[in-house]
Amino acid sequence: MFSKSCEYAIKAMIFVAQKSKDDNRVGIKAIAKGTDAPEHFMAKIMQDLSRRKLIHSVKGPNGGFYMDKADLKTSIASIVKAIDGEVIYTDCVLGLKVCSEKNPCPVHFEFKEIKKNLIKMIENNTIADFNDKLDSGKFFLKNK
């Protein structure tokens, strides 16, 4: 569904949101460990998210990544767009360069509804929405 990078990005955003209450910051090591991701690879993704202003960072001692109130309102869709681009919005399921209502591939209308629901869902769910869930202890960002 999403690229590996995007999976890590979503998990990292949820993780940092969780940890950055009371102006706390989280280092890349903790993020990697907490999301079961390779540290250096995750560092790259965090840089991407930071450059795109989905998250904030501070260098130096006591530095790390954190999210402010506004960042918490980020939707899953924004993360997906930042990392994977607009593919799930625009791309044809069968790979046609032009696939539209007027020039549809054979499965165009069958997938239309599915895609619409998927997009609606990722746009309506924000990082903040997942904070409470994680607090409950019934949801997980990694195994074991």
Partner DNA sequence: ATAATAAAAGATAAAACTATCTTTAATTTA
Partner DNA sequence: TAAATTAAAGATAGTTTTATCTTTTATTAT
Interacting residues toward a second copy by CB under 8 A? 1-2, 4, 7-8, 10-11, 14, 76, 88, 91, 93-98, 103-108, 110-111, 113-114, 117-118, 121, 125, 130, 133-134, 138-143
Report the C-alpha gap between 25 and 78 in whole angstroms: 22
Give the residue with the Cβ less far from a second copy, 1 or 70: 1
Q: Does 43 bind DNA (CB under 7 A)?
A: yes
Size of the site for DNA (CB under 7 A): 29
Of residues 5, 15, 7, the one with CA closest to residue 130: 15
| Residue 52 contact partner, candidates DNA, a second copy, none, CB within 5 to 8 A by sort of partner | none
Give the residue with the Cβ less far from a second copy, 47 or 139: 139
Report the C-alpha gap between 129 and 101 in whole angstroms: 34
**Residues 6+ positions from 127 with CB-CB distance below 8 Å:** 13, 14, 17, 67, 71, 72, 73, 74, 75, 76
The token duo for 20 is: 């950055």
Q: Which residues bind DNA (CB under 7 A)?
A: 3-5, 8, 25-29, 37-41, 43-44, 46-47, 50-51, 57-65
